[in-house]
């Protein structure tokens, strides 16, 4: 840990504050292993200040016309686009994504800002004239109050942008707690939001670990909590938040299955599987972590897939010459992934593309793993049951589609699933029967765009209303129903012949 680096600031009540006297955690550049920043480990005091600021700002912001709130996000969109390369470079530097992957993730975040710009129409209610004789009825969508976002390390820009633009556009105020592993992108996005004209106290950023999270989950003035992270923590967030009267949407981990039928287009399938399994170094909840080959598909697919995995160039992502895949987030996480691959070997699986010994001579201290494929995985193995969150693809071999669907549905998770086939009948059978919230047909990563909800099921999601789309508008608002009756001559009286 470097004492020469000042701790990252917090943003509370319209002020950037550098906190002294708190412990800090190092922020690494995963490509080099160097410490590039220190993140303060805040707690209840910082949370209290941020929530109180957001609570105080809520009345004026919630009464700001939706059109005016939307204009803030039109300006914000322009600023994010203007600073697009700077944001992507920050994502790449503190996370390790390639610049191409960073660009893709920031574009997805930008789409959520664009969706928030449409909030005047998203907040339309319903009306019915003459619900009864002389009685009219209407609905209104009104903001909740102080909302909270607790975000993970794997998408430093995209996941926060899933949350606060729409929450704020709906008239709420917000406290963001980004991952302590990747705080720099969140701070940059916050600076741009201030430049766009967000009023004092409406948006706040705090840092910290469990103490800060617990303070947010239990604070009486917090109305709603959005979370993305691992399933055990998602369950804890949901149970703790709801126990304290919060509305909670908690997105967890996944074990996404990719079923390859014998009639699949092999070159296209290899391309899709490589992206799904090894894109972003496998560090995403929509990663395709298990391929189930049906019948003769294994013999057609695996030689080309292994060749493609071995051809993936691994290297530092903070330089002009870009690799195909960057590092994982920390040395500790790399060791965890290596341990899971070793457990698969120990339990009888075979590594057919081995990226464990990858060397990067010009960045020897980076946290690198190469693309790895493990064949002969059985559903009882640790490697098959746990989310690896690294560049590792399991291969299971089955005789028919029924068995492939059965194995997919036996998973405790339910984020995504995909099938690769040229058969409309097989595709229809799969999409109808598979138990997952997001389904791809010849699409390896069926992640949705801003106007559709991110619909994890089972242990991949805890809550009722999902992130993104109309469900997110419902999550960040409460509905009011107004029934009106006016009296006057011939009005409201029972009609008589």
Q: Any idea which residues carry the catalytic annotation?
A: 285
Q: Report in angstroms the alpha-carbon separations of 278 from 94, 199, 205, 326.
A: 19, 41, 32, 10
Residue 348 is classified by DSSP as T
Q: Residue 412 and residue 406: Cα distance in Å, rounded? A: 12
Which are the contacts of 279, defined by CB distance < 8 A and separation ≥ 6?
Answer: 101, 287, 325, 445
Per DSSP, the residues of 148-181 read EEE--SS-TTHHHHHHHHHHHHTT-EEEEE--TT
Classify burial at 213, counting beta carbons within 10 Å of its beta carbon; exposed 0-12, middle 13-18, buried 19 or more: buried
Q: Please provide the size of the chain in residues.
A: 497
* DSSP one-letter code for 200: T
Q: What element of type H or E holds 11? A: strand 10-12
Contact 204, 175 (CB under 8 A): yes
> Chain centroid to CA 389: how far?
14
Burial of 365 (0-12, 13-18, 19+ CB in 10 A): middle
CA proximity to 474, closest of 164, 144, 238: 144
* 475 CB burial (10 A radius; 0-12, 13-18, 19+): buried
| Contact by Cβ (8 Å): 137, 447 | no
**How many Å apart are CA 352 and CA 184, to the nearest integer?**
38
Adjacent-strand bridge partners of 205: 11, 176
Burial of residue 27 (CB within 10 Å: 0-12, 13-18, 19+) is: buried
Report d(CA 162, CA 108) in Å as an integer.
9
* Rounded alpha-carbon distances, angstroms, from residue 164 to 127, 327, 361: 29, 28, 41
Tell me how crowded residue 461 is: count the other CB atoms within 10 A of its CB: 24
Hunting for tokens 């430093």 — which residue is that?
Answer: 156
Angle (CA) 154 174 126, round 5°: 105
Buried/exposed 326-350: b ≥16 CB within 10 Å, e otherwise: bbbbbeebbeebeebbeebeeeebe
In this structure, the number of other CB atoms found within 10 A of the CB of residue 280 comes to 25
């Amino acid at each position: 840990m470097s004492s020469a680096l000042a701790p990252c600031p917090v943003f509370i009540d319209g002020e950037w504050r550098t906190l002294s006297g708190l412990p800090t955690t190092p922020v690494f550049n995963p490509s080099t292993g160097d410490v590039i920043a220190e993140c303060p480990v805040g707690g209840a005091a910082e949370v209290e200040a941020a929530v109180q600021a957001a609570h105080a700002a809520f009345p004026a912001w919630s009464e700001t016309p939706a059109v005016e709130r939307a204009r803030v996000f039109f300006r914000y969109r322009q600023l994010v686009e203007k600073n697009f390369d700077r944001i992507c470079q920050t994502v790449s530097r503190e996370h390790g994504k390639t610049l191409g992957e960073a660009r893709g993730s920031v574009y997805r975040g930008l789409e959520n800002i664009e969706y928030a710009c449409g909030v005047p129409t998203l907040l339309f209610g319903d009306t019915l004239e003459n619900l009864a004789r002389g009685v009219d009825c209407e609905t209104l969508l009104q903001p909740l109050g102080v909302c909270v976002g607790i975000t993970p390390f794997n998408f430093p820009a995209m996941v926060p942008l899933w949350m606060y633009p729409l929450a704020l556009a709906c008239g709420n105020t917000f406290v963001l707690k980004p991952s302590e592993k990747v705080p720099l992108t969140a701070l940059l996005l916050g600076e741009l939001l201030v430049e766009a004209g967000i009023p004092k106290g409406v948006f706040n950023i705090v840092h910290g670990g469990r103490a800060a999270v617990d303070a947010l989950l239990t604070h009486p003035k917090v109305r709603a909590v959005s979370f993305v992270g691992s399933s055990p923590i998602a369950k804890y967030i949901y149970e703790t938040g709801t126990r304290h009267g919060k509305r909670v949407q908690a997105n967890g981990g996944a074990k996404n299955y990719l079923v390859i039928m014998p009639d699949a287009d092999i070159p296209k399938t290899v391309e899709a599987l490589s992206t799904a399994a090894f894109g972003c170094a496998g560090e995403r909840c929509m990663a395709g972590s298990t391929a189930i080959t049906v019948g003769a598909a294994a013999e057609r697919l695996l030689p080309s897939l292994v060749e493609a995995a071995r051809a993936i160039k691994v290297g530092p992502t903070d330089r002009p010459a870009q690799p195909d895949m960057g590092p994982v987030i920390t040395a500790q996480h790399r060791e965890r992934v290596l341990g899971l691959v070793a457990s698969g070997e120990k339990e009888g699986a075979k590594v057919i593309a081995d990226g464990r010994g990858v060397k990067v001579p010009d960045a020897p201290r980076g946290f690198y793993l190469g693309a790895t494929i493990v064949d002969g995985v059985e559903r009882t193995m640790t490697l098959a049951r746990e989310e690896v969150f690294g560049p590792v693809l399991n291969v299971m071999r089955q005789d028919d589609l029924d068995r492939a669907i059965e194995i997919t549905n036996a998973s405790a998770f339910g984020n995504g699933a995909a099938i690769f086939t040229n058969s409309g009948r097989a595709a229809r059978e799969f999409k109808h029967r598979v138990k997952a919230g997001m389904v791809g047909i010849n699409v390896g990563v069926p992640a949705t765009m801003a106007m559709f909800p991110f619909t994890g099921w089972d242990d991949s999601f805890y809550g009722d209303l999902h992130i993104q789309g109309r469900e997110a508008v419902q999550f960040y608002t409460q509905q009011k129903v107004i029934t009106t009756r006016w009296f006057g001559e011939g009005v409201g009286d029972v009609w008589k012949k």
